Amino acid sequence: MSKPIVIAVDGPAASGKGTLSRRLATQYGLRHLDTGLSYRAVAQALMAAGRPLDDEALATEAARAVDFSAFDAAALSAHAVGDAASRVSVFPPVRRVLVEKQRAFASQPPGAVLDGRDIGTVVCPHADVKLYVTASPAVRAGRRHREILRLGGQADYAAILADIERRDARDMERADSPLRPAADAHLLDTSQMSIEAAFLAACAIIDDALGGRN
Ligand code: DC
């Protein structure tokens, strides 16, 4: 059987990498893992148990217990959980435990699309294709703002923008596995692109990279 195909998709919060990754997985017949959910699951377990988020040993224990086959995406999508996930993700032992599980997921045939912050740099440095999806903070905040309004919620654009900037700073400035493009990643700046245009651009990059494999 041929080696599993791995597509790494990294980028900052609200860059659209999740939506793009799901579509790419369908397009190429691969499994999909949103690695952000694994960090969110650690944060959610601590919050649900009323435990602090700044205790490395507790967070590591919670990471060991995370079951990758049973993410409750609805509970994990809460805004507060995302922010808490960014906080527990700075602990190196938490990252080691989750990265090992992420690699195990990626290694099963026929392969997978993994999206996160450190897939191309740390989790799957030998991925067949690496994409780094980004957009300006203002564009990302605008998209998130419209999405919340579309779902009938209430949101303050300035607060969302400040939140995105704070999360970017924490994810990019942490010592262990900071968010940054791998040296061999293809940059996809979607600031001026529709979801469809970003999908087509990603497919062109992937088809070109996999051309030698198929
Ligand atoms: O992609 P997301 O918003 O669901 O991620 C939540 C947090 O989890 C993010 O702010 C940082 C952390 N994370 C990480 O450190 N490494 C990953 N591969 C994915 C997410």
The pLDDT tens digits of the residues spanning 7-64 come to: 999 999 999 999 999 999 999 999 999 999 999 999 999 999 999 999 999 999 999 9
Residue 170 and residue 86: Cα distance in Å, rounded? 7
How far apart are the CA of 151 and the centre of ligand 1, in A? 23
Q: Domain-by-domain residue ranges, the chain?
A: 5-205
Residue pair 126/106 in contact by the 8 Å Cβ criterion: no
Residue pair 10/133 in contact by the 8 Å Cβ criterion: yes
pLDDT at 212 over 80: no
Cβ–ligand 1 contact at 44 (below 6 Å): no
Residue pair 98/92 in contact by the 8 Å Cβ criterion: no
The closest residue, in CA terms, to atom 10 on ligand 1 is: 86
**How confident is the model at residue 213, as a pLDDT?**
66
Residue 213 and residue 19: Cα distance in Å, rounded? 25
pTM of the model: 0.95
If pLDDT is split at 50, 70 and 90, which confidence band does 79 have?
confident
Token pair, residue 143, equals 């998209």
Fold classification of 5-205 is Rossmann fold (3.40.50)
The pLDDT tens digits of the residues spanning 162-190 come to: 999 999 999 999 999 999 999 999 999 99
Token pair, residue 171, equals 């994810």
- Which residue intervals of 107-136 are DSSP H helices? none
Q: How many CB atoms lie within 10 A of CB 174?
A: 19
Q: How many CB atoms lie within 10 A of CB 69?
A: 5
Q: Please, what is the average pLDDT of the chain? A: 95
